Amino acid sequence: MSNAPSHLRYTRSHEWIETISDDTYRIGISDHAQDLLGDMVFIELPEAGSTVSASDECAVVESVKAASDVYSPLSGEIIEINEALEDSPDLVNRDPYGDGWLFTVKATDSSELDELMSADEYVALTNEE
Amino acid sequence: MTRNTIDQPQDGVIFEKSHRGRSNSCQAPQLNASETTAPLSIPASLLRKSAPLLPEVSEMQAVRHFTRLSQKNFSIDTHFYPLGSCTMKYNPRACNTLAMLPGFLNFHPLAPVETGQGFMACLYELQEILKEVTGMKAVSLTPMAGAQGEFAGMAMIRAYHDARGDTARCEVICPDAAHGTNPATAVMCGYKVKEIPTRADGDIDIEALKEAVGPQTAGIMLTNPSTVGVFERRITEIAKIVHDAGGLLYYDGANLNAILGKVRPGDMGFDVIHMNLHKTFSTPHGGGGPGAGPVGVSERLTPFLPVPMVDYRGDQYRWLTRKDRPQSIGQLSAFAGNAGVLMRAYIYARLLGREGMPRIAEYSVLNANYMMVELQKRGFDLAFPSRRATHEFIVTLKRQAKRLDVTAMDFAKRLLDYGYHAPTTYFPLLVPECFLIEPTETEDKETLDGFIDAMAKIQHEAETQAEMVRAAPYTLPSRRLDDVRAARELDIVWSSKE
């Protein structure tokens, strides 16, 4: 069974969302997702300052097995990206909820958070898979 | 497997065998300086100032080096090669021999057409055969590989919408099980990709399709049978939904082998199809080809076909060029595609004849279903157990990965030790730890049984000595490669250590 910290929220497409402040959120991919994809070899991140809409493809995680799109769970502006991933994509494998975070969004519509799953719901989903 | 073998030295590249000044002294022509002077007609500015950096080896070194490398190949001629979605089937020698007849071989593409009527007649007939077997209105042979065929197909869809001034169509729909080339092609042609899900039974989700289509839909790209190895049962309904929305249907011909001479994409409602002759029509495949990816189209797309095509007006075969077809998307290669490969496909088609084509479909489907049922009996899990397979099927090793920590990749590497090329692994992406297995029609029952036995033996090894399976292969020139490091630290240019 995969590890999904209870203070995070999750999407069906395996992103996690951490609340940083009132309207800023940090995004990454779940432990389950990194485990399925295997060793990361390349991470393509959005540009800081760009705007995204919820469920837009905004990053790509590429492993030895597959290249997979990452969808922004929220609409808003990308305010920070994890530049360490450029040299160390394996951070996503080693520490998916910590040093392996992908980007931070300043959200424009916090009601989009209601669409997201709790850790329990997410774990139930991954157990079905 | 433990063996008391002596480690053979790695062959490396031929430059590593080079010794300065070595030549084949007993056989090489002994030339003096005046004889090696270049003819005066070559301008001095174009003459080399120094000798080219070629490996300096003896003739025997060169012969043995390349012979040894060729013997290390896993190929159709040496091994069972069940690479799903790739249709790795036997290339009959007759096709090669006949295509190499001097009359075919020596026809230059710029020679007057009167001197190449035989060659052109073959190409014309191949166009006609492909039209008939796919149910399309017209065919152009010129795309030089499957990916170029896909590009040509989507470029025609774009040209069609543009010609009608219908420029708001900006989206192409692809199922999540699509070949990676499909969304890539759509993007290359300037479209956005909209992905729709596959249901648990392997068919695409029709409700999701209905929601996805609209005035922005340029078309949908489908493979049928799909990449999950089942026939899309509601294809006529899908065609109607997409056509009603004003979109076109693109058929990826990767899996045409399963339905050859049985069902025609044109009759299913497709508007464009590309065919991989290096799969279905048994021309050489792999290692970069050369491939051939002809395209066929429905009536409304015929003006846009790439040129040249071959025309016949009762007395003479001639090239159709842009002059004849002003709306064509243009030329995709200098001449008429990989003409030698087209010739092999033509001969293959003529050897089979109309009666032979359905047998290809029947035996490829029979072989796949036999293997699927036998593997299930041996305890392997099928990804789509409720469905009959087409020419390929999916086994998922998710249970083995979870319980034994032995992954699909470990099974694949261990199969090499048993003398079988691994099936396609980790594709389609939506099935975890998967093997996509395609035996093709040319394999006998004993070979299929041998593969099934090897899988059962590896399963037993995984249960009793997982560590050993995880370190396979043991019998090949290279052991387990570090694919992660290879991808992270790309090093693809050889440089001398000197």
Residue stretches of chain B with pLDDT short of 50: 1-2
* CB proximity list for B298: less than 8 A, separation 6 or greater: B136, B137, B266, B270, B271, B272
Percent of chain A at pLDDT > 70 equals 98
Query: Closest to B488 (Cβ–Cβ): which among A36, A41, A68?
Result: A41
Q: State the average pLDDT over residues A69-78.
A: 95
Segment A42-62 shows an average pLDDT of: 93
* 3.40.640.10, 2.60.40.1120, 2.40.50.100, 3.30.450.40: CATH of B94-352: 3.40.640.10
Residue ranges matching CATH 3.90.1150.10 in chain B: 361-487
Place of tokens 């799969």: B279
Closest CA to B436 of B454, B448, B424: B424
Q: pLDDT for B98-111, tens place per residue?
A: 999 999 999 998 99
Q: Residues B254, B281: contact at Cβ < 8 Å?
A: no
CB A20 within 8 A of CB A103: no
User: Looking at chain B from residue 173 to 232, which residues have their Cβ under 8 Å from any Cβ of chain A?
Assistant: 180
Which phi and psi angles does A68 have, rounded to 5°?
-130, 135
Which helix (DSSP H) or strand (DSSP E) does residue B295 occupy?
strand B295-297
Chain A residue whose CA is closest to B483: A64
Task: Give the chain A residue whose CA is nearest to the CA of B434.
Answer: A65
Determine whether the interchain pair A41/B426 forms a contact, defined as Cβ–Cβ distance below 8 Å: no
Q: Which of A36, A64, A129 sits opposite B487 (nearest CB)?
A: A64
Chain B residues with CB under 8 Å of A39 CB are 484
* Beta-carbon count within 10 A of B490 CB: 9
* Entry pTM: 0.88
Nearest CA in chain A to B403: A1
Using an 8 Å CB-CB cutoff, list residues of chain A that contact chain B.
Answer: 36, 39, 41-42, 64-68, 89, 129
Partner residue facing A65 (CB), from B180, B426, B488: B426
- CB-CB under 8 Å, B432 with A36: yes
Task: For an interface test with A, give the residue of B187, B426, B434, B481 to mutate (most A CBs within 10 A).
Answer: B426
Using a CB-CB cut-off of 8 Å, the residues of chain B touching A64 are: 483-484, 487
Task: Give dist(CA B175, CA B185) in Å, integer.
Answer: 14
Residue B32's pLDDT is what?
A: 62
Nearest to A39 among B426, B429, B484 (CB): B484
Question: DSSP letter at A126?
Answer: H
**Smallest Cα–Cα separation from A97: which of A35, A43, A28?**
A28
For chain B, give every residue range classified as CATH 3.40.640.10. Answer: 94-352
Residue-wise burial string across B117-131, b where 16 or more C-beta atoms lie within 10 A, e elsewhere? bebbebbbbbbebbb
- Interface confidence, given as ipTM, is 0.74
The architecture in CATH of the region B361-487 reads Alpha-Beta Complex (3.90)
Mention every residue, 6+ apart, whose C-beta is less than 8 A from residue B284: B91, B278, B290, B341, B344
As a whole-number percent, the residues of chain A with pLDDT over 90 amount to 78
The residues, any chain, with a CB within 8 Å of residue A21's CB and separated by 6 or more, are: none
Lookup: tokens for B462: 């995984």
Q: Which domains does chain A have, with CATH numbers?
A: 9-128 (2.40.50.100)
Angle at B284 between CA A66 and CA B302, to 5 degrees: 80
Indicate the residue type of B83. Answer: L
